[in-house]
């Protein structure tokens, strides 16, 4: 879990993914010679802070977003949300501006939220939760498991992946905006039209800790059922523990693919977490294991 801890500590809220991008490019360069297949990389001009890795002869693409939730400093140390973070008083936020490092607690005044800090912070500075990474026998707990765990899953897959595409996308937590043009590039260059979304979902009354990876039949978006059925059948045939998720809210890069002008089939497949969008996101290790196992099989059989 050292790699996961390292990624959770990287400051990369939506719109500021560059630190994660640079970390991943360095990681890929240092480790790709040990992978079963050497990927072709697409990044840089025309791709903003996103990365596409292409292995062999791909038939399926995995999308995993790099960004996290967070806050932007407004005026007089008032802060506004990036995405949908929890805003309880007393939560510790960190960041850095032109005058140095920042650490302070959330306070509330007149229905507004502020960071309690001893000087005015530069306008536009981004803040994120302070990391407290906890690794126990059964659970991993930290802020930004969503979606550093989804990225970690992709890096595990990259070690043995022979055919497929891995996409590291941006802005997912604050409305999306990158997946559409990344999907366009993939379909036009490689002809791939089906996707898996490597992301983290919620623990609910129907999806619980320790019972396997969640396969989502729907959230605020409704993917094509015939494609979802293929994924469920593969999981059953391989005896990999999974849970069926049905929700009417929430979304992912899959929703943006569905709204694009290209014919994508997609399915959200990810471990469930408790304490969503808080400093204490909590995922069961059995569900992490099931997620990796399921993705390995899906990338071979889809």
Is residue 28 within 8 Å of residue 168, measured between CB atoms? Answer: no
pLDDT digits (tens, 9 = 90+) for 76-105: 999 999 999 999 999 999 999 999 999 999
**Residue entry with tokens 């994508």:** 264
Tens digit of pLDDT at every position of the chain (302 positions): 999 999 999 999 999 999 999 999 999 999 999 999 999 999 999 999 999 999 999 999 999 999 999 999 999 999 999 999 999 999 999 999 999 999 999 999 999 999 999 999 999 999 999 999 999 999 999 999 999 999 999 999 999 999 999 999 999 999 999 999 999 999 999 999 999 999 999 999 999 999 999 999 999 999 999 999 999 999 999 999 999 999 999 999 999 999 999 999 999 999 999 999 999 999 999 999 999 999 999 999 99
Instruction: Tell me what the pLDDT averaged over the chain comes to.
Output: 97
User: C-alpha 7: how far from its chain's center?
Assistant: 11
Instruction: Domains for the chain: give ranges and CATH numbers.
Output: 2-68+134-301 (3.40.630.10), 70-129 (2.40.30.40)
Q: Alpha-carbon distance 133 to 9, whole Å?
A: 9
Q: Cβ atoms within 10 A of the Cβ of 170, count?
A: 28
User: C-alpha 192: how far from its chain's center?
Assistant: 21
What's the CA dihedral at 22, 277, 107, 174 to 10 degrees? 60
Cα–Cα nearest to 144, from 83, 205, 214 = 83
pLDDT digits (tens, 9 = 90+) for 231-251: 999 999 999 999 999 999 999
Q: Alpha-carbon distance 169 to 50, whole Å?
A: 5
């Amino acid at each position: 879990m050292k790699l996961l801890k390292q990624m959770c500590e990287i400051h990369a809220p939506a719109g500021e993914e560059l630190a994660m991008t640079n970390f991943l490019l360095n990681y890929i360069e240092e480790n790709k010679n040990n992978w079963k297949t050497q990927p072709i990389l697409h990044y840089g001009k025309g791709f903003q802070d996103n990365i596409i890795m292409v292995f062999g002869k791909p038939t399926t693409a995995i999308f995993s977003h790099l960004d996290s939730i967070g806050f932007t400093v407004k005026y007089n140390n008032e802060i506004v949300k990036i995405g949908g973070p929890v805003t309880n008083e007393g939560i510790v936020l960190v960041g850095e501006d032109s005058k140095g490092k920042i650490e302070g607690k959330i306070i509330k005044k007149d229905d507004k939220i502020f960071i309690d800090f001893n000087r005015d912070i530069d306008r536009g500075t981004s803040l994120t939760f302070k990391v407290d990474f906890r690794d126990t026998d059964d659970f991993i707990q930290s802020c930004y498991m969503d979606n550093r765990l989804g990225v970690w899953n992709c890096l595990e897959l990259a070690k043995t992946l022979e055919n497929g595409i891995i996409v590291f996308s941006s802005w997912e937590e604050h409305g999306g905006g990158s997946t559409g043009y990344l999907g366009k590039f993939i379909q036009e260059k490689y002809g791939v039209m089906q996707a898996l979304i490597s992301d983290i979902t919620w623990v609910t009354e129907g999806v619980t800790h320790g019972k396997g990876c969640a396969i989502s039949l729907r959230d605020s978006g409704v993917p094509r059922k015939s494609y979802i059925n293929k994924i469920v059948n593969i999981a059953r045939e391989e005896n990999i523990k999974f849970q069926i998720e049905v929700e009417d809210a929430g979304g992912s890069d899959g929703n943006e693919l569905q709204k694009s002008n290209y014919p994508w089939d997609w399915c959200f497949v990810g471990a469930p977490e408790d304490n969503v969008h808080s400093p204490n996101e909590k995922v069961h290790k059995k569900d992490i294991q099931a997620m990796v196992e399921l993705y390995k099989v899906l990338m071979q059989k889809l």
